[in-house]
Structure 1
Amino acid sequence: MTFRLTRVLPPDDTAAALCADVLYGLTRTPKTLPPKWLYDAHGSELFEQITQLPTYPVGRAELGLLLLHARDIAEQTGACSLIELGSGSSQKTRLLLDALPGLHTYVPVDVSESALRQAGQTLLIERPALSVHALIADFTGALTLPQTPGPRLVAFLGSTIGNLLPAERATFLTSVRALLAPGDTLLLGTDLVKDESVLVAAYDDALTAKFNKNVLAVINRELGADFDPDAFAHVALWDAGHEWIEMRLRSLTEQTVKIPALGLAVDFADGEDLRTEISAKFRKQGLRRELAAAGLTVEHVWTSPGQGYGLALAAPSRGGTRTEHATSGSTGLQATGLPS
């Protein structure tokens, strides 16, 4: 096995992006922050604990579907290269790695260098014949993929697609489509619309409240801010019009937060909300429409018992064209290749 690690993100990119997002999000009305800032090392640990809660079935449902259908996915794709966006520890992906008999290269993409190195070292022991080219990169920004043998399977799991706003999803899916040559496929994990009480329960608990407030700890640590987490309440609500869950932090009092690194003082009214995440839920027909608008045709959808979670396999629509460069809007991927 060979293991390569390529840094696509500039060393100071994360700090600059945090400054830009905080400055923009906390000076607008309503106040917002992108969900990616929830996931520092501590936030990632909290989220792993959340996935084990009985009220949060997304991870278990997706794992169950992969256990049942990894071989079906392998047979339908015949993939020689697997590219995983937001790979993390690559735990669930091992089911796909095992099921793909002709797999030559695995390309995990994540912002966490430590997660990529740990996964690569483990795979080095487990699968000596596999070539791994890991990318330290933000898949919501411009991404350059290494040249790998086809057909290629791009996996985007965990219903992470739901954290993108509709316009961001459209741009992202169009960019993914631009990466795909004839014979390539996209495997997309999505949480499906279900009863409101079930959805809210998955996000309204003490552990998720700690996870949500972790973004304040990140800003305090990185930008010298003086957020008091106890001065905010965790709020989870269902927006039926948009069919998504919103996580918010609600100010429990009128207060001013200082962020010295930005020279910024942010006023919060009593009861004012700061949105930290959306988690869109999907219907199968709506998902087909969104993929079709991006030039992708759904070939198969596997759903968990009760239709609570889905894995969709999509391919480039006939008559579509693959573009070699796609960098539209804030979410763009580039199909040009790094050396393999």
Structure 2
Amino acid sequence: MSHFNEIPTESDSLTLVAAPDTGQRTDIAADVHIGLTAARKWLPCLYFYDEAGSLLFEQICDLPEYYPTRTERAILEEHADKLVAHVGHPVDLVELGSGSASKTRLVVEALLRRHGQLRFIPVDISRSILEESSLALVEDYSDLEVLAVAGEYHDGLDFLKGESGPPRLILWLGSNVGNFVRADAIHFLQRLRGAMRPGDQLLAGIDLRKDPATLLAAYDDAAGVTAAFNKNILRRINHELGGHFELDHFRHEARWNETEGRIEMHLVSVAAQSVLIDDLDLIVTFDDGESIHTENSYKYSLHEIETLAAAAGFTADSQWFDEAHRFSVNLWQPETAC
């Protein structure tokens, strides 16, 4: 933890640390330049998640069309006690991309019922949401200690490598694995396995393949919240890089790519236009109907989940589903914790 900066908090039960500013950290200027000068324009979905974007995503999770949060929560509500029975004691609970930690509370409560005390280590890119959710947790659970890490995934892995203590149950919920191209998902999971110690376990929520109509509705809601979330990446470019994007000159579009097994999110230019980005000294031209590809959400069959785990060096311990088999929660063990 010596390389992370400790930040004062309002509770003795909460320690908040922030990742150092190093050359490994993402560079929005470089990434935007690369993506918007490519033959097929794209932007990394990482940049959805400033404070405004994180709040919009929390709203998405409550939408009636957005089944992943509801179904994953239902699985955890039904099976949390069975799940923690597979976990040894003592144990630390870790979560990558914790957000509001609303679903995580179900696992926290199950572990507290079983063991009485617990340390929770959430990792999230949004420091404000991380601090808010962590304070709420220590206020609600007197036997819970929280060590919160503000940073990106790679910061979380660096922290896990340097942190000593008991075995850890690492949560990676919300089908965040689906935001990675399949080969990159394997690579990230291999890196995660490399940060794990003997006795550590991974609990991964993974969305399943299903009919395209259900998928498209989940990523293009009637209230337009997902559209606002998608356009937030343009708002960030305007705010942080001196961009001149007119948000209403782009429309949100969700597409199902059957060949790749993924939902794609695009921002489609509604007219031929040119956009100046001051800090990049760049003018980006768009044809009418040309899109910026902003996110993928890969869906998995049961066989693809097995293949993913094996390729990344994990073995399956247990697997749980909602009643309609729309979503899966998977408990994996590393074959060799490095």
**TM-score by shorter chain over 0.5:** yes
Of 92, 106, 126, the residue aligned with 2:120 is 106
Whole-angstrom distance in 2 between the partners of 1:63 and 1:285: 23
Of 54, 63, 68, the residue aligned with 1:53 is 63
**Residue identity in the other structure for 2:188:** F
Q: Does 2:39 match 1:29?
A: yes
C-alpha RMSD over aligned residues: 1.8
1:199 is paired with a residue whose SS is: helix
2:303 is paired with a residue whose SS is: helix
Please, which moves more after superposition, 97-106 or 266-275?
Answer: 97-106
Correspondence for 2:19: 8
Of 182, 191, 211, the residue aligned with 1:195 is 211
**Residue identity in the other structure for 1:143:** D
1:32 is paired with a residue whose SS is: coil
Deviation per CA, 1:139-182, whole angstroms, max 9, x where unpaired?
04663225243221010001111111122211110011112223
1:77 is paired with a residue whose SS is: coil
Correspondence for 1:171: 187
Unpaired stretches in structure 2, ≥5 consecutive residues: 1-11
- How many residues are aligned here? 319
Q: 1:139 to 1:297 in 2, by over 3 A?
A: same
**Residue identity in the other structure for 1:253:** A
**What's the offset of the Cα at 1:71?**
0.7
Correspondence for 1:329: none
Whole-angstrom distance in 1 between the partners of 2:84 and 2:104: 12
Of 278, 281, 287, the residue aligned with 1:269 is 287
Select the structure with the greater relative contact order (CA < 8 A; seq sep ≥ 6).
1
Please say if residues 104 and 149 of structure 1, whose CA atoms lie closer than 8 Å, have aligned partners that are also in contact. Answer: no
Q: 1:91 to 1:294 in 2, by over 3 A?
A: same
Deviation per CA, 1:17-59, whole angstroms, max 9, x where unpaired?
2112111111112111111212222222222222222211111
Whole-angstrom distance in 1 between the partners of 2:66 and 2:105: 22
Q: 1:112 to 1:12 in 2, by over 3 A?
A: farther
Correspondence for 2:171: 155
Whole-angstrom distance in 2 between the partners of 1:129 and 1:245: 41
**Residue identity in the other structure for 1:90:** A
2:267 is paired with a residue whose SS is: strand
Q: Does 2:318 match 1:300?
A: yes
Q: 1:31 to 1:44 in 2, by over 3 A?
A: same
**Residue identity in the other structure for 1:31:** K
Whole-angstrom distance in 1 between the partners of 2:172 and 2:20: 19
Of 220, 231, 247, the residue aligned with 1:204 is 220
Please say if residues 35 and 277 of structure 1, whose CA atoms lie closer than 8 Å, have aligned partners that are also in contact. Answer: yes
TM-score by length of 2: 0.89
Please say if residues 246 and 279 of structure 1, whose CA atoms lie closer than 8 Å, have aligned partners that are also in contact. Answer: yes
**What's the offset of the Cα at 1:78?**
2.4
Of 94, 97, 101, the residue aligned with 1:90 is 101
**Residue identity in the other structure for 1:196:** P
Q: Does 2:236 match 1:218?
A: yes
Whole-angstrom distance in 2 between the partners of 1:9 and 1:261: 24
1:143 is paired with a residue whose SS is: helix
Whole-angstrom distance in 2 between the partners of 1:307 and 1:93: 21
Please say if residues 234 and 247 of structure 1, whose CA atoms lie closer than 8 Å, have aligned partners that are also in contact. Answer: yes
Whole-angstrom distance in 1 between the partners of 2:312 and 2:319: 17
Q: 1:123 to 1:12 in 2, by over 3 A?
A: farther
Please say if residues 220 and 254 of structure 2, whose CA atoms lie closer than 8 Å, have aligned partners that are also in contact. Answer: yes
Please say if residues 5 and 133 of structure 1, whose CA atoms lie closer than 8 Å, have aligned partners that are also in contact. Answer: yes
Unpaired stretches in structure 1, ≥5 consecutive residues: 324-340
**Residue identity in the other structure for 1:92:** K
TM-score by length of 1: 0.89
Please, which moves more after superposition, 306-315 or 170-179?
Answer: 170-179
Of 55, 62, 65, the residue aligned with 2:72 is 62
Please say if residues 49 and 126 of structure 2, whose CA atoms lie closer than 8 Å, have aligned partners that are also in contact. Answer: no
Whole-angstrom distance in 2 between the partners of 1:50 and 1:119: 17
**Residue identity in the other structure for 2:159:** T
**What's the offset of the Cα at 1:12?**
9.6
Correspondence for 1:327: none
Correspondence for 1:182: 198
Correspondence for 2:251: 233
1:178 is paired with a residue whose SS is: helix
